[in-house]
Structure 1
Amino acid sequence: MALTVPPPRSPLVDDERVSRGDRARRWYEHELGWATEGTAPVRLLTGLRFDVLELPAAAGHAALRRVGCTGPVALAGRTMGLLVAPGSADELPGLLDWLEWGGVALTLTALGTGGRIVAPEPPGWASGLPGAAVWLRPPEMCHEGESRLPALAGLGSRGGDTPDLVRLVDAVATECHRARLMHATTGRPTTGYSADQSPAQPLAFS
């Protein structure tokens, strides 16, 4: 059986991707002070300025409807990434136990130190390649976004419109579990993973 050989990439296409990626890299480093890696695609390093919760997009959309105030939110295909305060990935297993989600199988992972995600197009940019990662809730500029990242401080007691990691994790876990039950009942797929296979820390196991 003959194998179909894909046509070679045009050097012009590759050059355009690198040029666009280089401009995106500079934007992230200069405007937000975030560490990056590569240019085609640009990757954002986790565990420094932020950690990331990754979950199926359908469960993420449902959770966002329940939790109004969050940090930045990215979408890459069927995967949603919620930016949270650095160090949160290490704290989340204990938080899930405290919220009585410990031991429940959830399609939820945390990226902390040593992880990386594909960088979404900077806010306001014209759409690039089909299926490229995008910001649903973009980061704030000029290094101010870090103070807005959901964190554990106060264990849900903080007031105002400050993002609350406890409420966010509880909502995310609920929707991941609900999606898993729906999949078990209907057979509909509910999971999706980012194209960039970064080191991920499982938050709960069956």
Structure 2
Amino acid sequence: MVGSVSTVPLPVPLPRRPLDPADRVRHWYENELGWATAPGAPVRLVVGRRFDVLDLPLEAGRAVLRRLGPESVVAVQGDRMRLPVAAGSAEELPGLLQWLEWGALDLDLVALGAGTLMDAPSPPGAGRPGGGRRGPRGAAVWLRPPVPGREVEASLPALSALGGGGGAPDLVRLVSTAATECHRLRLRRACPPPSVLP
């Protein structure tokens, strides 16, 4: 048959699936903020590249929060507050605590730096699967989220010699305040107020 055309059916593409909520979260961090995420689920942020994190008890963190500027980035997960600070700050924490004369106490104040991961809070305005507006119990949430388009790292607390600037609080002052509040919390837990007899 001259001139006949073969009629092999073309494959029909499968319908597109909507983005998984984890994919939306990952996209926001990687494309909007430029922050690295670790593969897999749940979405976790790679700490130590663009920022480090001071991790302290939420109760102590509330007092610290009152001393931070309104542009400070703050996350909470369970009973812990996470304060992003300039990359490299985790390496400075032990020396700073020693210099501030807090080195001998167990303050429950730790720094997460290179080689660590942090659960990624849902981006602002994103639904939180499984838990309504607040998300599942213990899920990471932003109290003060980073703002895409603004250089987040420039506003993170840093040692004065390492950068920071603008309205960023000084890392030494932040660590001093955090250590003081962690110690106060430790004392309150160790020595509860005496009960008043009727």
What range is the shorter-chain TM-score in? 0.7 to 0.9
User: Paired residue for 1:145?
Assistant: 152
Among 144, 163, 180, the alignment partner of 2:186 is: 180
Inter-partner Cα distance in structure 2 for 1:61 and 1:154: 28
**Which residue pairs with 2:5 in the alignment?**
none
Q: Is the 8 A contact 2:155 2:166 kept in 1?
A: no
> Any conservation in 2 of the 1:53–1:84 contact (CA below 8 Å)?
yes
| TM-score w.r.t. length of structure 2 | 0.78
Q: Which range moved further: 109-118 or 135-144?
A: 135-144
Distance 1:19 1:45, change over 3 A: same
* Cα deviation, residue 128, structure 1: 3.1
Which amino acid in the other structure matches residue 46 of structure 1? V
Gaps of 5+ in 1: 1-14, 188-206
Q: Is the contact between residue 89 and residue 111 of structure 1 (CA under 8 Å) also seen in structure 2?
A: yes
Mind listing any 5+ residue stretches in structure 2 that lack a counterpart?
A: 1-16, 131-135, 194-198
* Separation (CA, whole Å) in 2 of partners of 1:45 and 1:119: 9
Aligned to 2:45, the other structure's residue is in SS state: strand
Contact 2:53 2:83 in 1 (8 A): yes
Counterpart secondary structure, 1:139: coil
Matches within 5 A, 1:1-206: 19-68=20-69, 71-129=72-130, 130-131=136-137, 132-142=139-149, 144-154=151-161, 161-186=167-192
Q: TM-score, normalised by structure 1?
A: 0.75
In the alignment of these two chains, the number of paired residues is 170
Larger Rg: 2
Aligned CA distance change for structure 1 residues 63 and 70 (closer, same or farther; 3 Å): farther
In the alignment, the residues of structure 2 paired with residue 32 and residue 160 of structure 1 have an alpha-carbon distance, to the nearest angstrom, of 19
- The residue type equivalent to 2:39 in the other structure is G
Counterpart for residue 203 of structure 1: none
**Identity of counterpart residues, as a percentage?**
58
Give the structure, 1 or 2, with the largest relative contact order (CA under 8 Å, sep 6 or more).
Answer: 1
Q: Which amino acid aligns with 2:175?
A: V
Contact in 1 for aligned 2:158/2:168 (Cα 8 Å): no
Counterpart of 1:147, as a letter, is A
The 1:35–1:143 alpha-carbon spacing in structure 2 relative to 1, beyond 3 Å, is farther
CA RMSD, Structure 1 to Structure 2 (Å): 2.4
Q: Give the SS at the match of 2:24.
A: helix
Task: Tell me the alpha carbon deviations over residues 140-170 of structure 1, each in whole angstroms, 9 at most, x when there is no partner.
Answer: 2136101111000259xx8762222111111
Contact 1:53–1:111 (Cα < 8 Å) also in 2: yes
1:120 Cα shift?
0.2
Q: Aligned letter for 2:182?
A: C
Q: Distance in 1 between matches of 2:60 and 2:79?
A: 10
